[in-house]
Amino acid sequence: MVRSPLTATSASQDSKMAGRKLALKTIDWIAFWEIIPQNQKAIANSLKSWNEILTSRLAALPENPPSIDWAYYKANVAKAGLVDDFEKKFNALKVPIPEDPYTALVDAEEKEDVKSCAEWVSLSKARVVEYEKKMEKYKNLIPFEQMTIEDLNEAFPETKLDKQKYPYWPHQPIENL
């Protein structure tokens, strides 16, 4: 039996909502999945699902609530001044925009991450250089048919027989033969 007034956005209502814009970055989910190591896949999954939950909730809520038809209420409510009072208070009310202490944390984390990544990348490059050197050495080996045992020991130091430790032939523990 309650008549709900039809919603009609009036200009007076819009002024209440502050001009906030939702700035969301587009996410490449495949790349996001790639960078997560195996042992953190669960956390990544929860992040993703939270994202989905929140987007759906956001989609369900219209940006502004419908506005209240004061004229109708003024006409119908018997108590004088009640509606005016409500209207005044309603317009004066400012819903606080929730504060955001968390983005700062995320930014700080990201900065640290960038730093550690840069460090890691430089280490990685050094490693790559070492590997390349080793590769060169291996690629430039003379063919085995033309090596002597000394050459072999130079190229693969693990083949060198320790004649101090095992002075008698075969210069290695029997198990290695």
Partner 1 sequence: MKTTKNFYLARPVSGHLAPALTDSPIRGHRNAKIAVWNSADHAVPSGTFCCRHSGPLSEECSLPRSRTLGPVTERNALKSPNGQDFNRVLQATRTFHTEQPHLAPVPPLPEYGGKVRHGLIPEEFFQYLYPKTGVTGPYVLGTGLILYALSKEIYVITGETITGLAVIGLYIFGVKKFGPSVAAFADKLNEQKLAQLEEAKQASIKQIQDAVDMEKAQQALVQKRHYLFDVQRNNIALALEVTYRERLHRVYKEVKNRLDYHISVQNMMRRKEQEHMINWVEKHVVQSISAQQVLNIFDVLTLYLYL
Q: Which is nearer to partner 1, 58 or 166 (CB)?
A: 58
Token pair in block for residue 64: 């502004």
Q: What binding mask, one character per residue, do residues 126-145 give for partner 1 by CB under 8 A, x or -?
A: -xx--xx-xx--xx-xx-xx
Per DSSP, the residues of 73-141 read HHHH--STTHHHHHHHHHHH--PPPPP--HHHHHHHHHHHHHHHHHHHHHHHHHHHHHHHHHHHHHHTP
- Out of 6, 11, 15, 28, name the contact with partner 1 by CB under 8 A: 28
Q: Does position 10 bind partner 1 by CB under 8 A?
A: no
Least distance in Å: CB of 121 to partner 1? Answer: 6
Q: Does position 1 bind partner 1 by CB under 8 A?
A: yes
Least distance in Å: CB of 166 to partner 1? Answer: 19
Residues 6 or more apart whose Cβ sits within 8 Å of residue 46: none
Token pair in block for residue 154: 């130079």
- Out of 11, 15, 19, 24, name the contact with partner 1 by CB under 8 A: 24
Residues 6 or more apart whose Cβ sits within 8 Å of residue 51: 27
Token pair in block for residue 37: 């190591």
- Out of 19, 39, 79, 157, name the contact with partner 1 by CB under 8 A: 79
Least distance in Å: CB of 171 to partner 1? Answer: 15
User: Could you tell me how many residues of this chain bind partner 1 (CB under 8 A)?
Assistant: 81
Q: Does position 97 bind partner 1 by CB under 8 A?
A: yes
Closest alpha carbon to 9 in 17, 1, 21, 19? 17
Q: How many CB atoms lie within 10 A of CB 18?
A: 9
- Out of 19, 25, 39, 175, name the contact with partner 1 by CB under 8 A: 25
Q: Does position 165 bind partner 1 by CB under 8 A?
A: no
Least distance in Å: CB of 19 to partner 1? Answer: 13
